[in-house]
Amino acid sequence: PSPRPAPRSSAADGGGGSSSSQRRSLRHSAQARITAQRLREAYAAGAPF
């Protein structure tokens, strides 16, 4: 029951890590969208955050 997990923890899980912060300058890249969708899927599946 914690409100929306921090994307950082999940990004590290998906292999994003620190590189994701560098990509932020490239508009909203496809990688960012994929990571967001993966995060939503994991959240819907009830993954422990």
Taking only the tens place, the pLDDT of each residue in 2-45 is 666 555 544 444 444 445 455 455 566 888 889 989 989 988 88
* Cα dihedral: 5, 11, 13, 16 (round 10): -170
Could you tell me the pTM of the whole model?
0.36
Start-to-end C-alpha separation, the chain: 10
pLDDT for 10 equals 46
pLDDT for 5 equals 58
Task: Answer yes or no: is pLDDT of 47 > 60.
Answer: yes
pLDDT for 46 equals 82
Distance CA 2, CA 22 (A): 28
**How many C-beta atoms lie closer than 10 Å to residue 49's C-beta?**
13
* Cα dihedral: 33, 37, 43, 45 (round 10): -160
pLDDT for 49 equals 56
